[in-house]
Structure 1
Amino acid sequence: MGKRSRGFRSRSRHLLKKRAGTAGKIGLSRLLHNYAVNDKVRILIDSAIHKGMPHRRFHGLVGRVSGRRGKSYLVEVPISGAVKNIIVRPEHIQPLRGEGCREK
């Protein structure tokens, strides 16, 4: 038996698969959206863009923007009592809609 591969994207075949109609280039409004500090965002990985892609364990989680790192955003994600700081490019995050999304 061979040695099992354990790369960065291992076990993500179905998680990062795009549905029909969502493949192709993403819109400019998603790329150029400006997030303010304390905005709530959902981390949704776009598998077509590899730059600034977070680990698959953060896919679908909600976090809070805490700053900028160049073109990327620093997002705080609470995971099992701890707060993880993730550097994510805007292609992989979406604004969270609804009440209480922006706390001042």
Structure 2
Amino acid sequence: MVKMSHGPRSGSRRKLTKSKEERKKSIIGRMMQEFSPGDRVAIDIEPSVHNGMPYHRFQGYTGIVEGAQGNCYKVGVKVGSLTKYVIASPVHLKRIKG
């Protein structure tokens, strides 16, 4: 018997699959966006870009940008009473107004 893989993308088929309409859209604008500390962002994973991809558990979470770390951003996300920090590339983040 072959052992089942428990890699970082296991169990994420629904979360990391694009629809036909999403496959046609260009992501260059999302790659070029910049954030400043204090901005509110939503984590929206872009499955076609593997660099700077956060763990799929954080798909859909919102948080506050704490600062830049290399080409990525450090985002503080509230999970229960804890604040967890996710390091994500700008292509995996969407700005939230407010």
TM-score (norm 2): 0.91
Runs of 4+ in 1 over 4 A off after TM superposition: none
| CA-CA distance at 1:70 after TM superposition | 1.2
Q: Which residue of 2 aligns with 1:51?
A: 51
| CA-CA distance at 1:25 after TM superposition | 6.0
- 8 Å CA contact 2:27, 2:91 repeated in 1: no
What does the per-residue CA deviation read over 1:18-61, in whole Å, with 9 as the maximum and x for residues that have no partner?
A: 01111156343222222111100000000000000000000000
Q: Percent identity?
A: 35
User: 2: CA distance between counterparts of 1:26 and 1:93?
Assistant: 15
Structure 1 counterpart SS, 2:57: helix
Q: Which residue of 1 aligns with 2:7?
A: 7
- 8 Å CA contact 2:43, 2:62 repeated in 1: yes
Structure 2 counterpart SS, 1:47: coil
Q: CA RMSD in A?
A: 1.4
Unpaired runs of at least 5, structure 1: none
Higher share of residues assigned helix: 2
| CA-CA distance at 1:2 after TM superposition | 3.6
